[in-house]
Amino acid sequence: MTEFQPLNIAVLTVSDTRTEDTDNSGRTLVEALTGAGHTLAHKSIVKDDIYQIRAACSQWIANNDVNAILITGGTGFAGRDSTPEAIAPLLDKEITGFGELFRQVSYQDIGTSTIQSRALGGLANYTAIFCLPGSTNACKTGWQLIAEQLDARHKPCNFVALLMEKPTRPQP
């Protein structure tokens, strides 16, 4: 039987208003990933700005010790929501099924409002990236979908072996 392999996961909250004290969605993701046995590699809050989002994620993508990034916020249609635009150019491959499945599962909770979710998943430099809406419930729903794909015991397939292929090179 395959054993559980803890991953190093970074959490990024995208918000113009949240602080560490009010970041319930980020806290929910941290609790979920650590509760599953993974390690919190980094946690940050950045403004909903394409370049701040890219800067934070680019550092983690380049970091050999980060296997996955969970982003909450900035996936809607409000004027400053720009997470998908920030992340999409960084991806080597999109995990198309993630956004599709997220919206399908969300439909059970929020009905047709789910079409306003631009949840996104992808891979960049052997790092899995999942962009979730900023609500706590959306983060809980997203983690239900992500958790099995970040667990080496999940069959018939998961992302763990691929994420563990990240080349080892000296960090700056």
- pLDDT (tens digit per residue) in 1-32: 789 999 999 999 999 999 999 999 999 999 99
- Beta carbons of 20 and 27 less than 8 angstroms apart: no
Three-state DSSP class for 83? helix
Provide the residue count of the chain: 172
- Cα–Cα distance, 13 to 108 (Å, whole number): 25
Please report the pLDDT score of residue 78 as a whole number.
84
| DSSP β-bridge partners for residue 121 | 130
Taking the domains of the chain in order of start, what are their residue ranges?
Answer: 8-163
Please report the pLDDT score of residue 170 as a whole number.
52
Strands 127-132 and 68-72, by their bridges, are parallel
- Give the model's confidence band at 169: pLDDT under 50 very low, under 70 low, under 90 confident, else very high: low
- 55-68: average pLDDT: 96
Please report the pLDDT score of residue 168 as a whole number.
63
CATH superfamily of 8-163: MoaB/Mog-like domain (3.40.980.10)
Handedness of CA 24, 49, 8, 150 (dihedral sign): positive
Q: Take residue 91 and report the two structure tokens written for it.
A: 């991806």
Q: Look up the pTM and report it.
A: 0.94
Residue 162 has pLDDT above 60, yes or no: yes
